[in-house]
Amino acid sequence: MCFEHLLHFTALQVIGGNITVVQGSTAFFPCILKDTTEKLNQISWQKKTKKNPEKIFFSILPEGPEHQNGQDLRFTFAGNFNEKNGSLRLSNVTLTDQGTYTCIFTLFPSGNHQTEMPLNVLVLPVVSVKSDIPTLGDKEVSLATCTASGSLPPAQVNWVFGNLNLKITTNSSVNGDGTTTTVSTLWGVPTIELDHRSVQCVVTSEALSTQKSQPFTIQIHCRYTLDTGQSDVGQHYNVVNPFRCQRVGLFVCLFVLTHKDPVLLLWQFPNEFFSLFNLSQVIFFTIYYDIILYILHFSVKILYFPLFT
């Protein structure tokens, strides 16, 4: 009699699985009891996550399912008690749900039989590309930065730039929630030839169904300073991101002045002179000239006077 009962006990199976989902999606926890004719009294679910100790949170009785130790309505019963199917469904999965889930069948007379299943949560990276505002020069500088933020597992970040003479550096940091932020920087010598060249930041991750590409256009800027010979006035001004150089002979210049008062600016170039009023803090103007490099390397003389004292 005891030998027959042992054979019956070892044939019993509780079938579960490993679950991997992307944050924000729905997870399905399969749990099926097979190869037994014993009476099923109850199905219980237990979870162990970073924020919660191991405890029963959901039970299925012959009369129906019920939440325990709090009511997380994202969990719903997706099985059938009479068919010994205790499967659960969890909607809107978050990273804090990651952990180990245990499905427990309580039988009579043999007692509890269970299986554990891990829930692995993937987090999509947030991808952004920004210019590092390189200025014209002959030294290698950072041109642009591509960031894949908050990814789990860590994302791989790379650049596609064809035959351009550029290089890449990449570093990663772990965030407080266990996700990773990966930063990849594109380096090169900021020459006129690089201006308006197209590159791509390419991000791959287990959480992404396909790789994510983000195009970017390199922009090389030129930097000049304001000089009036009046240091007491000049201290009130700061030039930020002065203007961008275009290769076709057209300059679109942007000066941001931090001075609060309107200013009359007098711009003096070889064979060219014009003036304009600044009624806000941003001045847009266009300079046409035949010899681009001459303008780029020429010491531009800028005269300006406060309109109000």
Radius of gyration of the chain (CA): 33
Q: For residues 30 and 85, state if they share a domain.
A: yes
- The predicted-structure confidence for 224-238, as pLDDT tens digits, reads as follows 444 444 444 333 333
Q: 6 and 118 share a domain? A: yes
What pLDDT is attached to residue 254?
A: 33
Q: What are phi and psi of 193, to 5 degrees?
A: -65, -25
pLDDT reading at 279 higher than 60: no
The answer on 18 and 114 residing in a single domain is yes
According to the model, what pLDDT value does residue 53 have? 80
Are the CB atoms for 179 and 121 separated by under 8 Å?
no
Given this model, what pLDDT does residue 10 score? 53
Last residue of a domain, one of 221, 242, 269: 221
- Count of H-run helices and E-run strands, the chain: 3, 25
pLDDT at 66 over 90: yes
Confidence of residue 93 (pLDDT cuts 50, 70, 90): very high
Instruction: Kindly state the DSSP code that residue 92 receives in the 8-state scheme.
Output: S
Of 173, 188, 221, the last residue of a domain is 221
Q: What is the mean pLDDT of residues 55-82?
A: 92
Domain CATH for 179: 2.60.40.10
- Domain of residue 237, residue span: 224-306
- Higher-pLDDT residue of 23, 277: 23
* Higher pLDDT, residue 208 or 244: 208
CA distance 31 to 112: 14
Q: What would the pLDDT profile of 12-36 be if each residue is shown by its tens digit? A: 899 999 999 999 999 999 999 999 9
Contact criterion met (CB below 8 Å) for 187 and 153: no
Residue 55: which H helix or E strand, with range?
strand 55-61
Please give the average per-residue pLDDT across 246-268, as a whole number.
35
Say which residue, 274 or 111, is predicted with more confidence: 111
Could you say which of 189, 221, 253 is where a domain stops?
221
**Six-digit token pair at 218?**
């390199």
The total domain count for the chain is 3
279-284 long-range Cβ contacts below 8 angstroms, 24+ apart: 281/256, 281/257, 282/254, 282/255, 282/256, 282/257, 283/254, 283/255, 283/257, 284/252, 284/253, 284/254
Q: Same domain, yes or no, for 155 and 104?
A: no
